[in-house]
Chain A
């Protein structure tokens, strides 16, 4: 076995895995706070990435453009929650799925109408440098992507575990009635949750498009991998989402390199096989936990 090829594939896999993890984190945040699977998470990320790209076209530096797009994504996430998600809170799952699918198509079509389906090049926030360690090549983008993911998890953990608003968010998710009774506005906490998830999605989109090119359908495949990551991690565990993302990314790369019939075309099948496999063997995922409750 060629060690260089192997390491190159693992490193490439970790970099894409970090992106899947980032989007999976967004899925998990929404699922934990509202029980909704947000099928539009990828399209929200795609739309935010277009905003960043549009700003660079207008001459804004990509770093600044990314920050602005992430901020806009946060605000848009809160607006989406309060306008179209809040009315279906507590509705049955099918209704909620229809709403997020509707949002999916709206964002997809509006992006296509506004920016066409022609692929655009989004500059890398971390530049185009490539480092070589022996024969193994690592791009600055890969390193940056992994660092950003670690920073995201650290920030999210700090926010949720150490801050007053984080405690309030966890309380609102745990028992909405009791949260209201201590003076927490549960709907405001859910808005913040959607805002954060949208911001994480935007980060994933901005980091993945220098490699995949930006067009309205770009996040579709990424979303499937992220679902696989979230399910692998257990859907309600942030750490699980990250570990799941990295596992999916590396598996996908190694499978397409070493299993002949998989190749580039069947890569997405690997993600789907992972989803089905996990659901069959361990329905709660690797890190999912049962509720602690005494009856």
Chain B
């Protein structure tokens, strides 16, 4: 049994059903990637895993216990979600963004965390008094990741972290994620369009199509399979 176990997950928006029975497992400490075409249901899957969307059927088990309810419940259990696009607070300063990241810690002191992530993302330290919305796209993505880390997550959900970033910046970000996983053992579930980079980072991969998992396997195997690459990854 993994840190996260998802069983027969169905979800959608009002009358529109999008997910038709997703099963997936993420082992503690692993980096797992979810690949798939536009509109396949990747974002919908992550939104369900962070409580932003309630499943119509199926179960989510986290650390062996069933998980349901509001996003705050998921956050308190240790799931941090970096949403697709800019998941920052544009009108708040970088530092305020990070402080809000620690909101779920309640009154626990978190100044050490702040120092640690400033150390890890020096660009953010330089811009700590600047408004979130005034950062570049790459800096905002770092801010969104750092803010998620402030809540000391056990599982980090990342929705297309490379979206809108230049190739070199994307590489930097992925390198940071790898380092983070090594240093802290934080488990990650990443949705990504950049299949090559993602498969190089991850140990296990799922391919999703029209709301269903169509292929899964070790990242190397999925990455090496030409038919999968042509059919689903467009590479």
Would you call B83 an interface residue if the criterion is a C-beta within 8 Å of the partner chain's C-beta atoms? Answer: yes
A50 to B52, CA, bound (A): 43
A contact residues around B71 at 8 Å (CB): 180-181, 183
B contact residues around A293 at 8 Å (CB): 90, 133
Identify B100's interface contact among A167, A291, A292, A294, CB under 8 A. Answer: A167
The number of A-B residue pairs with CB atoms under 8 Å apart is 80
Interface residues as binary, B71-87 with A (CB distance below 8 Å gives 1, 0 otherwise): 11001100011010001
Identify A183's interface contact among B76, B88, B135, B136, CB under 8 A. Answer: B76
Within 8 A of A (CB), among B90-140: 90-92, 96, 99-101, 103-104, 131, 133-137
Would you call A174 an interface residue if the criterion is a C-beta within 8 Å of the partner chain's C-beta atoms? Answer: yes
Would you call B65 an interface residue if the criterion is a C-beta within 8 Å of the partner chain's C-beta atoms? Answer: no
Interface residues as binary, A27-51 with B (CB distance below 8 Å gives 1, 0 otherwise): 0000000000000000000000000
B contact residues around A183 at 8 Å (CB): 71-72, 75-76, 103-104, 151
For the complex formed, measure the closest distance between the CB of A239 and the CB atoms of chain B, giving whole angstroms: 16
Question: Judging by beta carbons under 8 Å apart, are B52 and A182 in contact?
Answer: no
For the complex formed, measure the closest distance between the CB of B105 and the CB atoms of chain A, giving whole angstroms: 9
Given known contacts A171-B89, A178-B88, A291-B90, A184 and B103 CB-to-CB distance under 8 angstroms: yes
A contact residues around B100 at 8 Å (CB): 167-168, 171, 179, 182, 184
Would you call B147 an interface residue if the criterion is a C-beta within 8 Å of the partner chain's C-beta atoms? Answer: yes
Identify A291's interface contact among B76, B91, B135, B147, CB under 8 A. Answer: B91
Interface residues as binary, B53-83 with A (CB distance below 8 Å gives 1, 0 otherwise): 0000000000000000011100110001101
List 6 other contacts, CB 8 Å, given A177-B87, A183-B151, A291-B90.
Answer: A179-B100, A180-B72, A183-B72, A183-B103, A185-B70, A294-B133
Would you call B50 an interface residue if the criterion is a C-beta within 8 Å of the partner chain's C-beta atoms? Answer: yes
**List of 6 A-B pairs having minimum Cβ-Cβ separation, nearest first:** A183-B104, A183-B75, A180-B71, A183-B72, A174-B89, A292-B133
Identify B83's interface contact among A174, A178, A291, CB under 8 A. Answer: A178
Would you call A175 an interface residue if the criterion is a C-beta within 8 Å of the partner chain's C-beta atoms? Answer: yes
Which A residue's beta carbon lies closest to that of B130?
A292
Within 8 A of B (CB), among A179-218: 179-185
A contact residues around B70 at 8 Å (CB): 180, 185
Given known contacts A167-B96, A167-B100, A292-B133, A182 and B91 CB-to-CB distance under 8 angstroms: no
Given known contacts A177-B52, A181-B52, A294 and B134 CB-to-CB distance under 8 angstroms: yes
A258 to B159, CA, bound (A): 64
B residues near A (Cβ < 8 Å) are 50, 52, 70-72, 75-76, 80-81, 83, 87-92, 96, 99-101, 103-104, 131, 133-137, 147, 151
Q: Which bracket fits the contact residues of A? A: 20 to 34
Would you call A137 an interface residue if the criterion is a C-beta within 8 Å of the partner chain's C-beta atoms? Answer: no
Given known contacts A167-B100, A292-B133, A182 and B90 CB-to-CB distance under 8 angstroms: no
Identify B72's interface contact among A175, A185, A291, A294, CB under 8 A. Answer: A185
Q: Can you list 25 A-B contacts (CB < 8 A)?
A: A167-B99, A170-B91, A174-B90, A174-B92, A175-B87, A175-B88, A175-B89, A178-B87, A178-B88, A178-B89, A179-B100, A180-B70, A180-B71, A181-B52, A181-B71, A181-B80, A181-B81, A182-B103, A183-B72, A183-B75, A183-B76, A183-B104, A183-B151, A292-B133, A294-B136
A contact residues around B133 at 8 Å (CB): 291-294
Which A residue's beta carbon lies closest to that of B85?
A177
Which of A167, A174, A184 gathers most chain B CB within 10 Å? A174
Question: Judging by beta carbons under 8 Å apart, are B76 and A181 in contact?
Answer: no
Question: Judging by beta carbons under 8 Å apart, are A292 and B90 in contact?
Answer: yes
A179 to B87, CA, bound (A): 9
Question: Judging by beta carbons under 8 Å apart, are B91 and A292 in contact?
Answer: yes
Given known contacts A167-B99, A292-B90, A182 and B83 CB-to-CB distance under 8 angstroms: no
A contact residues around B131 at 8 Å (CB): 292
Question: Judging by beta carbons under 8 Å apart, are A168 and B75 in contact?
Answer: no
A165 to B146, CA, bound (A): 21
For the complex formed, measure the closest distance between the CB of A147 and the CB atoms of chain B, giving whole angstroms: 31
Within 8 A of B (CB), among A146-172: 164, 167-168, 170-171
For the complex formed, measure the closest distance between the CB of A182 and the CB atoms of chain B, giving whole angstroms: 5
